[in-house]
Structures are given as structure tokens and as C-alpha cells.
């Protein structure tokens, strides 16, 4: 009896982890909205399922309504050399 209960808890935890990590973002958002309609805290669920707020909810996180920053006149040297990886295609 106890073994079956422990296995059920482990399987449920693994399924929950897989749902929070590997499901597509649209499915995770639907899960968050469905659970929020049933009384769960939407902010905590969104953080747990790693879903980002959309532009439609007015959160301002997407930055689409902000004014763009002024472009600098001269490019800055970041010290990072850019490398190009050339691929050789064999046919």
C-alpha cells in the first residue's frame, strides 16, 4: 500500500516537472489560465510554469510601447572577437 502511494507521488512529481519544463509555451499558458480560473494564484503559477506575460495584459514587460533608446554615434569595443564557423558541405 505504501509503496504504491510513494510511486504515485513520484510519478506525479515527474509529470509535473515535465509539464513545467518541456511542454510548449502555449500549452503551459493554457494550464496556468485553467488553474487560475479554478482559484489558484495566477502570478505564482506563471512563475512556476515559466510563462511570460503577454503584451495584451498590460504588464509592460515586452517593451513595445516604450521609446527606443538613442543609438550611440560610435560603436563600442566590447573586447569580444567575433568568430565565423565555416561549414564544409560534402555532397
Check the CA dihedral 67-70-75-78 and report its sign: negative
- Asked whether residue 18 is domain-assigned, the answer is yes
| Angle in degrees, 0-180, between the axes of helices 25-37 and 2-22, rounded to the nearest 10 | 120
Whether 31 has a pLDDT exceeding 70, the answer reads: yes
Domain that holds residue 16: 2-54
- Mean pLDDT over all residues of the chain? 79
- Asked whether residue 86 is domain-assigned, the answer is no
Number of folded domains in the chain? Answer: 1
Using alpha carbons, select from 45, 44, 41 the residue that is nearest to residue 31.
45
- Asked whether residue 87 is domain-assigned, the answer is no
User: What is the rounded average pLDDT of the residues 16-44?
Assistant: 89
Long-range contacts of 24-33 (CB under 8 A, 24+ apart): 25/51, 25/52, 29/54
| pLDDT tens per residue, range 49-74 | 888 655 555 555 555 555 555 555 65
What's the CA gap between 47 and 44, in Å, rounded?
Answer: 5
- Asked whether residue 15 is domain-assigned, the answer is yes
What's the CA gap between 86 and 2, in Å, rounded?
Answer: 58
- Asked whether residue 37 is domain-assigned, the answer is yes
What is the pLDDT at residue 68? 55
- Asked whether residue 42 is domain-assigned, the answer is yes
- Asked whether residue 46 is domain-assigned, the answer is yes
- Asked whether residue 10 is domain-assigned, the answer is yes
Amino acid at each position: 500500500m505504501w509503496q504504491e502511494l510513494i510511486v504515485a507521488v513520484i510519478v506525479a512529481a515527474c509529470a509535473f516537472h515535465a509539464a513545467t519544463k518541456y511542454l510548449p509555451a502555449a500549452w503551459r499558458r493554457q494550464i496556468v489560465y485553467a488553474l487560475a480560473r479554478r482559484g489558484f494564484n495566477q502570478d505564482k503559477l506563471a512563475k512556476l510554469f515559466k510563462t511570460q506575460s503577454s503584451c495584451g495584459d498590460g504588464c509592460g514587460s515586452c517593451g513595445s510601447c516604450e521609446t527606443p533608446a538613442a543609438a550611440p554615434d560610435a560603436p563600442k569595443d566590447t573586447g569580444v572577437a567575433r568568430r565565423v564557423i565555416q561549414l564544409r558541405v560534402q555532397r
